[in-house]
Structure 1
Amino acid sequence: MRQIPVDTSAASIMAAQPPQPKVANRQTGEIALDRETGAKLMTVDVMFVLDGNAEIMTVVIPESGVPADLAMGTPVALTGLVARPWENEFNGQKRHGISFRAVAVTSLADAGAKAA
């Protein structure tokens, strides 16, 4: 699968929603697992601000890379962020988009408090 590294160095990023388990099957409630490691996957909605434009994007992160106390509005850094184009067909309708995946999300709130 193609992966495109995302440079976040010029952007401001903050948690828009608390982390949630990524659901693999909405009917059964089955939680998604990483295909390679078997790790439970989480989704984190973040606000990505660059050049005065803000976008909300959902990032999939292994549970081990998500701090338990990550709160809405917390400034964060995304480690190893990549974009993955996807396409599928469901009920005869073609759909496509871009999904985002990261190795970890780290709160920058603690770093700012320590620097002050």
Structure 2
Amino acid sequence: MRSIRVETSTATILLTEAPQPKVRDRQTGEIAKDAVSGEALMKVGVVYIDEGESSLIHVTVPESGVVEGLALGSPVALPGLVARPWESVFNGQQRHGIAYRAAAVTAGAVPAAAGAGV
């Protein structure tokens, strides 16, 4: 399926879950790896706030793209953020959703418009 670039320049993105290894197989504990580079993948939870709406999402990033010292609740940046719709059949049931991936998770700032009038 096609990837859709997510515009983040006007969004406030706050860290809600610390980066942790993305598990590929829960039964074996196998860590997910990038199909091209073979690099281990990490999962990070964020709240994405834009135009008065918010969404809690998990974003996959390569291990090398995780910056140390990110504090829960702090603003972060997700360079190269893309959304990819997916669907599958699991235990006979159709499932679907959106997977998010970014090149990195780094310290960010609250956009100027979001802090106006505070």
TM-score (norm 2): 0.88
Number of aligned residue pairs: give it: 109
Q: What SS does the corresponding residue of 2:64 show, helix, strand or coil?
A: helix
Q: CA RMSD in A?
A: 1.1
TM-score (norm 1): 0.89
User: In 2, distance between residues paired with 1:103 and 1:33?
Assistant: 14
Residues 46-100 of structure 1, C-alpha deviations (whole Å, 9 max, x = no match):
1101122221100000000011222211111110000000010011111011000
Identity across aligned pairs (percent)? 57
* Partner residue in 1 for 2:87: 87
* Partner residue in 2 for 1:63: 63
Segments of structure 1 that go 5 or more residues without pairing to the other structure are: 110-116
Segments of structure 2 that go 5 or more residues without pairing to the other structure are: 110-118
* Partner residue in 2 for 1:96: 96
User: In 2, distance between residues paired with 1:30 and 1:69?
Assistant: 26
- Per-residue deviation, 1:17: 1.1
